[in-house]
A and B are shown apart, each in its own frame.
Chain A
Amino acid sequence: MIASVVATLAEVGDAFQAIVDEFADVPGVEIGDVGNDARRVPITIDSPAPNALEEVTRRLLECRGVAFVDVVFVHFEDEPESQAAANPGEMDKS
C-alpha cells in the first residue's frame, strides 16, 4: 500500500513544528515539503500492512491541531486481491 494524504491543521501558531514532528513519529509516514503554507501537510504512507492507510489516518486525526485528513492518492496494486468480507448474508451477526 502506497498512499498520500493531506492533513489540514486548525490554527496552531507556534506549535506547528511540534505537530509535524508528532506526524513523523507515526510509523510508515514521510512528511513532504510544507513550503510557506504551514496549514496543509502532505504525507506519504508506505506500508505492507493492508490497513495502514486507515490506521495512519486515524493516528494523524488524533494528533493535536489536526482538523481533517483527506486522501489524495492510493496505489493498491501490490495488495492481495480485495476480498469480500465474506458473503454478507453469511456474516457473523455479532
Chain B
Amino acid sequence: MNGDLQPAAEAIQRRQFIKASAMAAATAVAGGTNFTLPVLADEPAAGVQWEKAPCRFCGTGCHVQVGVQEGKVVAVAGDRNAEVNKGLLCVKGYHVGAALYGKDRLTKPLLRDGDRYREISWEEAIKTIADRIEAAPERFAFYGSGQWTIPEGYAAQKFMKGGLSNNHIDPNARLCMASAVTGFLATYGVDEPAGCYDDLDECDVLIMWGNNPAEMHPVLFSRVIDRRSRREKITLIDISTRRTRTTEACQHYLEMKGHGDLAIANGIAHLLIKNGTYDRRFVESFCNFKASDDENPNLHGKAISFDDYRKSLEPYTPEYVEELSGVPADQIRMLGDLFGNPKLKITSLWCMGMNQHTRGTAINSMVHGVHLLSGHFGTPGNAPTSLTGQPSACGTVREVGTLAHALPGGRVVANAEHRQQAEDFWNVPTGRINAVPGHHTVKMWESFCTPTDQGGDIGTIWVQVTNPGQTLPNLNKLFNPKGDNKAGLEDKFLIVSDVYPTATTRLADLILPSAMWVEKNGVVGNSERRTQQWFKMVDPPGAARDDCWQTIAVAHELFNRGMAGMKDRDGQFLFDVKDENDKSVPVWDWEHYYDVNVDEHLFEEYRQFSRLKHKDLAPYSEYVKARGLRWPVVEIDGQWQETHFRFSEGFDPYVEPGKEIQFYHSSTHDDRAQIWFHPWIAPAEVPDDDYPFMLCTGRVLEHWHSGSMTRRIPELSRAMPGGYLEIHAADAAAHDLRNGDKVTIESRRGSLVIPVWIDGRGQPPRGTVFIPFFDETLLVNDLTLDALDPFSKQPDYKKSAVRIRKV
C-alpha cells in the first residue's frame, strides 16, 4: 500500500513544486524582482535541466528557457535575463517546445517512385543530390530561408558561390523583407536598422505603418502597452488598410487605401517644408536629396536639390493626400504636426505592409526620409525601424547575404574587389565566384516551372527550412503550373528538407527529414541586430539530421567525385573542420558531426566578413554567455560591447569624435544619408467592374507563417483551426452572406472556396477582404499577384483584385 501511495505523494509534491515555480516566475516578472529558473534544476523533485535558446518563431527574438528531462523538452519559460522579452512570451512562444513533437515528423529520407515515396538511406539521398548537381551544376538552385541559422546559411552560401560558382541561391526572405533592405541601402548605403527595441521604451509617439505588432510581434507590443499601464504618456498611431488588434490599443487609427502610405509620407514631408518645421540644421549637416532616375533606373537614383525636392512635394497637400490615400486631411495634418515637433521622440515600425508592395523600396526610403527631414533620428526613441517575420531574416539573409546578388558581410558578386575578398577568406582560387547575380526567388521558381526547351534554365531546386508551395505568390504559375500533370517538366527535380510534410513536400521528388530548433546547435540574428546562440539539447527523431550537415555531406560527396569546386586553393575540402589538435574531423559523416562544434567553426570563419561593413560580431564564445548581442560588437578594454544606436556619436564606436551623426557608408561618400522623393503610384492591380474587391493577405497571432509547425500544436490549432475570408458586414449583407457561409473567391490567377467571417479577427473596410495564409488546405496564394518591386524584386501580397460569389 505504501508503495502505491508514495508515487502519488511524490507526484503531488512534484506538481506543487512546479506550480510554486510557475508562480515564482510570474511574480518575478510582474514585480520586476530577480528570479532565475535554473534554481529548478537544483530541486531533486524537478529533475529538469534548463538551458537558454531564442524562440523558434518570429523575428522579435525572445529568449526562452527550455526545460529538458529524459531527452525531451518538457517545459518552456520566458527568459527573465533576456533584454528583448524580460521573461515574457506570446501564445506561440510558450508552445514552442510542442512544435518538436507533432506525430507526423519526417524521420526518413523519401524518394518519389511514381505516385508513391519509398524510404531510402541517407547515403542514397546524398548520392541522388550529388548526381543531379554533377550532371548540370549551372542548372541547380538552392532556395533557403530566414529560418536558416547563420551557420546553415553560411554553409549553403559558400557551397554555392565559393564551390559551384553558382549564384542561384535565394531565400524566402525575398518575399518578406527585401524592400526593407533596398530601402536601407538607398537611404544609408548600408542595410539594417540604426535603432533597436530600446526605442520602444523611449519614444513619445509610436507610428505603425501597415503592421500589426499586437499579433505579429506580440511581446514587443506588450512592452509598449506596459509603458502605458505605468501611466507613461505614449501616443500610438495605427496606419493601416484594416482594423486589427493593434488598432484597439491605439489612440489614432488612420485607415488608408493600398499604396496610400506613399501619399501620406509625401504629405508629411510637404507639411514639414510648408510649415518650416523640418530640421534645417540636421538636413543641411547630414542629408542629400535624391529622386529616381527614370532614364537609368537604379537603386541610387539621381541627385536633386532641396528646391527640386520641395517643388516635387508641392502637390501633396493634405487634401490631395486624402484623395489618394483615403486618410482625412486633418489626420495628415496631425502627423505633420507630430513630426514637426522637435520635443517629441518618434519611432516608426513597419513590416510586411510596407515591404510587400510594388513600391516597397520607395515607401521604405520615404519613411526614413520623413524621420531624417524632421530630425527624428539618432537619439533614443527617434528611429525608423523595420521588423522581420523570421528569426534570422537579418542574421542569415541580410548579414550572411544568402541572396542571389550578395556575398557575406554586405558584399556583392558584381564587384570584383568584393569577390576577391570572399575568395581570400574562403581560400578558393581567384575567379571561383561568378560575377553574374543568380535568379531571385520569383525568377528562380518561374524558370523551374518553365519547360527546359522553353528557356526554363533551372532543373533542380533544393529547398531548406521553408514552404514555397504555400508561400510563393501566384502559385498556379510559380509552383504548380500544371496541377498534378507535370507534362513538359518531367526533367525537373525538387528536393525538400523539412521537419513535417507540407504543401511543398507534396510535390517533392526527394524529401529529407531535418532536425529543428534545440535538436541542433544554432545562431540567429533578430530584427534589432541581435545575434543569439544556443546549443543542441535533445536528439532529432528517427533519421532526421541537421540541414547544415546535409549541405556539407553533399559537398563532400562531390569532393570525393573530384569536383574541382569543392576544393580550396590547397586542394583541401571546402568545409575542412579541425579539432583542437589541428586534425581534420570527418564532419560529413553524421557519426562525427557533433565530435566538434561545426557551428562555432563556421561562425568564426564567417565573422571575418562581419568587419567589412562595420557589422562586427564577437567571438562565438561571447554569444554562449549572453542573451544575444547587438552588432557592431567591438572589444573595448577587454570587454565585448554591443551597439544600441548606429551612426550616432556616443553610441556607435565607428562614428568619429565630433561628428554627432555620421552615415559612414553613405552611397554619396560624404557621410550623408539620402532623403528621397518618389511620387504616389497606384497599385499594380486595382479593383474594377470584373474584380471589385481588393484582397489583402497576412498572418494571425496563433499561427506562424505557413502554419507547418503551429498547426501541429493542438492548442494553437484549436484556437485558430482554419483559414477564412474576412469581410465587412455591409459587403456581406450585399452578397447575402452569414458567418460560416462559403464563397468562391476568384482573381485573374486562381480561385478558392472559403468560409466567411464577417468582420473577423480584423475589420476590413468596405470593398476589401482579408485571408490569412497559414492554412495549407486553403491556398490563398493561388489568388495573389506576382508583380514585383523593381529594385527589391519582392512581390506585393497585399493588393490583388478579386470577386466573390456565394456557393
Contact = CB atoms under 8 A, between A and B. Distances in A.
Q: Do A and B bind?
A: yes
B30 A6 contact: yes
Contacts of A84: 102-104, 500, 712
B89 A71 contact: yes
B768 to A, nearest CB: 24
Contact of A54 (B97, B230, B719): B719
B23 A77 contact: no
Identify the 9 closest CB pairs spanning chains A and B, nearest first. Answer: A42-B26, A4-B26, A77-B74, A4-B22, A40-B30, A85-B717, A70-B88, A71-B94, A82-B98
Contact residues on B (Cβ < 8 Å of other chain), bracket: 35 or more
Interface stretch (B75-83, B170-178, B309-317, B333-341): B75-83
B25 A4 contact: yes
A50 B231 CA distance: 36
Interface residues of A, number: 50
A51 B713 CA distance: 11
A78 B48 CA distance: 14
A11 B32 CA distance: 19
Interface stretch (B220-228, B283-291, B443-451, B632-640): B220-228
B715 A53 contact: yes
Contacts of B15: 2, 46, 78
Nearest to A41: B30
Nearest to B778: A93
Contacts, number: 181
Contact of A89 (B707, B717, B776): B776
Given A8-B222, A88-B777, A32 B103 contact: no
Given A37-B32, A72-B88, A44 B26 contact: yes
Contacts of A74: 75-77, 94-95, 97
A75 B66 CA distance: 10
A10 interface: yes
Contacts of B27: 32-33, 42
B229 A2 contact: no
A81 B30 CA distance: 31
Contact of A73 (B26, B500, B776): B26
B513 interface: no
Interface of A: 2-6, 8-11, 30, 32-35, 37, 39-44, 46, 50-51, 53-54, 57, 67-68, 70-78, 81-85, 87-89, 91-94
Given A2-B19, A83-B103, A32 B90 contact: no
B34 to A, nearest CB: 14
Contacts of B713: 82, 85
Contacts of B218: 70
Given A50-B714, A85-B717, A87-B104, A68 B19 contact: no
A77 B73 CA distance: 8
A6 B26 contact: yes
A88 B67 CA distance: 28
Given A67-B229, A83-B102, A83-B103, A77 B75 contact: yes
A72 B722 contact: no
A70 B501 contact: no
Contacts of B421: none
A44 B230 contact: no
Given A70-B89, A73-B75, A91 B777 contact: yes
Given A6-B88, A68-B226, A46 B19 contact: yes
B489 interface: no
B15 to A, nearest CB: 7
B23 A44 contact: yes
B755 A94 contact: yes
Contacts of B775: 88
B624 interface: no
A42 B230 contact: no
Given A54-B719, A72-B88, A76-B74, A83 B67 contact: no
Given A2-B18, A53-B94, A75-B18, A37 B23 contact: no
B101 interface: yes
B455 interface: no
Given A73-B26, A93-B777, 7 more contacts: A2-B15, A43-B26, A50-B714, A71-B93, A74-B76, A76-B75, A88-B707
A81 B222 contact: no
Contact of A83 (B74, B714, B721, B776): B714
Contacts of B777: 88-89, 91-93
A51 B23 CA distance: 19
